[in-house]
Amino acid sequence: MDTMLLVLELIGTCAFAISGAVLGITKRFDIFGVIFSGIITALGGGTIRDILLGNLPPAMFRNYIYLIFAVATCLLTFIIASILKNKFSENIVVIDKVNNIFDAIGLGVFTIVGMNVAIRNGFVHNFFFVVFLGMTTGCGGGILRDVIVSEVPFVLKKRVYAVASIVGGIVYYLMYITFDQSAVLSAVVGITLIFVLRILASVFKWDLPKAI
């Protein structure tokens, strides 16, 4: 289980780092801005989660493997964008769609990872808190990133972002805790459900109702 969680965290870290770095590149940030945007996206949610749990300092400051993976991924993304500068600009719509896939992967992975951290900290029977921490871990980095680039956080306005995290988190909790299914199977189902909901919401432009 420990190995699975570490692998999931590293996959989520790289996926969210790519998402944040690409946004920074499209906003014409310099290399530091791109790396910072990627790190905030990849590790921001986990940092908020650890603060809420009282796990201080947060994991990113205790185990540098996450920071190393995030920085390396951002640098690689920046280098590729620099080499393919003209193609990057000409294919921004396609790149945005690909970036959305990485974002969906990160959301699914970190939702489940965040829930597991809450469960391991003794909150296994606090259903709301476990699901809430999963959503916070999955969405927190993106919210911080959007605030930094002066945009209304995506999670508050479009494409059932947080709802996908909550739905997948609930299914994971029911399978793993309530019905005592295996951790691996529960995680795969939860992550897949979140990923599919996010992609379908993007393709079919599903939005929650607005008052105006």
Residue 212 lies in a domain: no
Report the mean per-residue pLDDT for the chain. 92
The angle, 0 to 180 degrees and rounded to 10, between the axes of the packed helices 2-26 and 127-148 is 30
Q: Are 162 and 139 in contact (CB under 8 A)?
A: yes
- Taking Cα atoms as reference points, which of 146, 120, 132 lies closest to residue 44? 146
pLDDT of residue 149: 82
Instruction: Please give the biggest Cα pair distance in the chain.
Output: 53
Dist. CA 156–CA 135, nearest whole Å: 13
pLDDT at 34 exceeding the cut of 70: yes
Q: With a cut of 80, say whether residue 41 has pLDDT above it.
A: yes
Average pLDDT estimate for 163-184: 96
Q: Is the pLDDT of residue 28 over 70?
A: yes
Flag whether pLDDT at 159 surpasses 80: no
Of the two residues 195 and 8, the one the predictor is more confident about is 195
- The per-residue pLDDT for range 79-122, each reduced to its tens digit, is 999 998 877 777 778 888 888 899 999 999 999 999 999 999 99
Question: For residue 129, is it left (φ>0), alpha (ψ between -120 and 50) or beta?
Answer: alpha
Q: What domain range is 48 assigned to?
A: 2-203
Q: How confident is the model at residue 1 (pLDDT cuts 50, 70, 90)?
A: low
pLDDT at 36 over 80: yes
Spatial contact of 112 and 1, defined as CB atoms under 8 Å apart: no
User: In this structure, is residue 122 part of a structural domain?
Assistant: yes
pLDDT at 92: 77
pLDDT over 80 at 128, yes or no: yes
At 171 the three-state DSSP class reads: helix
Q: 210 lies in a domain?
A: no
Domain count, the chain: 1
Task: Confirm if 184 and 101 have CB atoms less than 8 A apart.
Answer: no
